[in-house]
Chain A
Amino acid sequence: DSGVTQTPKHLITATGQRVTLRCSPRSGDLSVYWYQQSLDQGLQFLIQYYNGEERAKGNILERFSAQQFPDLHSELNLSSLELGDSALYFCASSPFRRVYNEQYFGPGTRLTVT
């Protein structure tokens, strides 16, 4: 158990809908990363937040957005869903020390768009 929690574990929804994925980082970790794992694209970085602020952006679609709240949990919002958005979405958290910051991954949310 990494200490990172993600809810829900599974999500099935229809095209055109909007969903919210939630991530609670390990206690004390200030950074949250979101990754998408799909058959087409593999594992790719979407976005990073540090202490409530967006810090880095990867291959995140405009239909997707994220935020990190004052209690440090993060949410990934996916809208106008398409079949191709079906994937496993992971979040990872890390501390913010002036040495290497290891990422700890949550168990993921499996999104199925029908």
Chain B
Amino acid sequence: AQSVTQLGSHVSVSEGALVLLRCNYSSSVPPYLFWYVQYPNQGLQLLLKYTTGATLVKGINGFEAEFKKSETSFHLTKPSAHMSDAAEYFCAVSERDFGNEKLTFGTGTRLTIIP
């Protein structure tokens, strides 16, 4: 069975500082990997995904993540935090199973930006 661990349920960074949100997964074979963002009282928005190819993935709003198979990690980074980045971030995995790509989510990391 797959699982996702997000280290740190709350992360605070200063505006303009580096954002680093950690995600490790457990899977028998490399899965598809995702980061979603959830703003207050809103649904889930896909930030970026890794399915195949280049292991450094760029997403929306200046975020990127790197798939490291040896470390079973998919950490999310952004060089310079903006106030609008305050939200909850979820790492997720799905199996490489055509037509059955249900998502397994981590517990989420709430990102606070300090002015």
Contact = CB atoms under 8 A, between A and B. Distances in A.
Identify whether the interface residues of B are mostly helix, strand, loop, or mixed. Answer: loop
Interface residues of B, number: 23
Contacts of B105: 42-44
Contact of B104 (A45, A48, A101): A45
Task: Please tell me the size bucket of the interface on A.
Answer: 20 to 34
Interface string A30-61: 01010100000011110010100001101000
A90 B90 CA distance: 14
Interface in A76-113: 90, 92, 94, 96, 98, 100-103, 105-108
16 contacts: A31-B99, A33-B103, A35-B103, A42-B106, A42-B108, A44-B105, A56-B100, A92-B103, A94-B101, A98-B98, A100-B52, A101-B99, A101-B101, A102-B46, A103-B103, A105-B43
